[in-house]
Amino acid sequence: MKTLIAYGTRYGATATTSEEISRVLQEQGHDVSVVDLKKGKVKNISDYDLVIIGSGMRMFRWVGEAEKFIKKFQKELRQKKTAIFVSSGAQALHKFDGATEEMDTAWTKYLVEKAEKYSLQPSMMAIFGGVWDYNKMGFPFKQTMIPFQEKLREAGIQESEPGVYDTRDWDEIRNWARALAEQSI
C-alpha cells in the first residue's frame, strides 16, 4: 500500500513521530513517503492509497502548513483512506493528570471538528504527546510556559536533555501505526 505521511511541526516532535509511524508501516509492507510540509511541497496525492496528516500544536492551534494541506487536497482526501494525528505536550500532561474532560474536549476540537470542517472521515485519529523544548521557545512564550515545567516534573516527566521534556508514549504511537496498517489492508 502506497502511503503518504504529510506533517507540520513546531519543535520537531511531529517529525520524529511521523518517522516512527513510517518505520512501523514499512515493517507492515507499506511503501511510505514522509513530507515535512514546511520544507517540501506535495503537488499531487493521486498515487497514494492512504494519506496520514500530522500536526504539531501550539496555543491550541494546528501548524499552518498541515491545515493548508488539508484545505488544498480536501476533495481528493474525501476519496482516500485517511488518518489524522496531532502532537501535543499539553494533552499528554492531561493524560498524566487524569483530566479526562480536557482530553475529550481536545479530541473533539483538534480532531473531530477538523475532520468535519473538511468533510473527511479518517479511519483513525490520535492525540500523541509532544515535546516541550524550552530552548527553542521565544522569551515571552517561555515565560508563560514556566509553570508547566513544574507540572511536567510533578507528573514524573524528566528532561531528556536540559530544557527538553518529551511526553510521547512510543508504544502508543507504534500500536496506533500497527492498527492503522491492519485497517488499511
pLDDT for residue 61: 85
pLDDT for residue 92: 66
**Tens digits of residue pLDDT in 93-126:** 666 666 678 778 888 999 999 999 999 999 999 9
Tell whether 136 is covered by a domain: no
pLDDT for residue 96: 65
Tell whether 143 is covered by a domain: no
- Note down the domain range covering 49: 2-131+167-183
Residue 150 clears pLDDT 90, i.e. is over it: no
Tell whether 67 is covered by a domain: yes
We report the CATH number of the domain holding residue 174 as 3.40.50.360
> Residue 79 burial (CB < 10 Å; 0-12/13-18/19+)?
exposed
Region of poorest pLDDT, from 3-17, 98-112, 165-179: 98-112
Tell whether 145 is covered by a domain: no
Tell whether 92 is covered by a domain: yes
pLDDT for residue 60: 78
Phi, psi of 176 (to 5 degrees): -60, -45
User: What's the whole-number average pLDDT of the chain?
Assistant: 90
Tell whether 52 is covered by a domain: yes
How many domains, the chain?
A: 1
Strand partners, 127: 86
Whether the CB-CB separation of 138 and 98 falls below 8 Å is answered with no
pLDDT for residue 140: 84
Overall average pLDDT of the 32-56 stretch: 96
* DSSP string of 92-130, one letter each residue: HHHHHHT-HHHHHHHHIIIIIHHHHHTT---SEEEEE--
Tell whether 156 is covered by a domain: no
Q: For the whole model, what pTM was predicted?
A: 0.90
Residue 185 clears pLDDT 70, i.e. is over it: no
Ramachandran region, residue 163 (left: φ > 0; alpha: ψ -120 to 50; beta: rest): left
pLDDT for residue 47: 96
Tell whether 160 is covered by a domain: no
Phi, psi of 15 (to 5 degrees): -65, -50
Residue 78 clears pLDDT 90, i.e. is over it: yes
CA distance to 66, 68, 139, 166, per residue, from 7 (Å): 6, 11, 26, 18
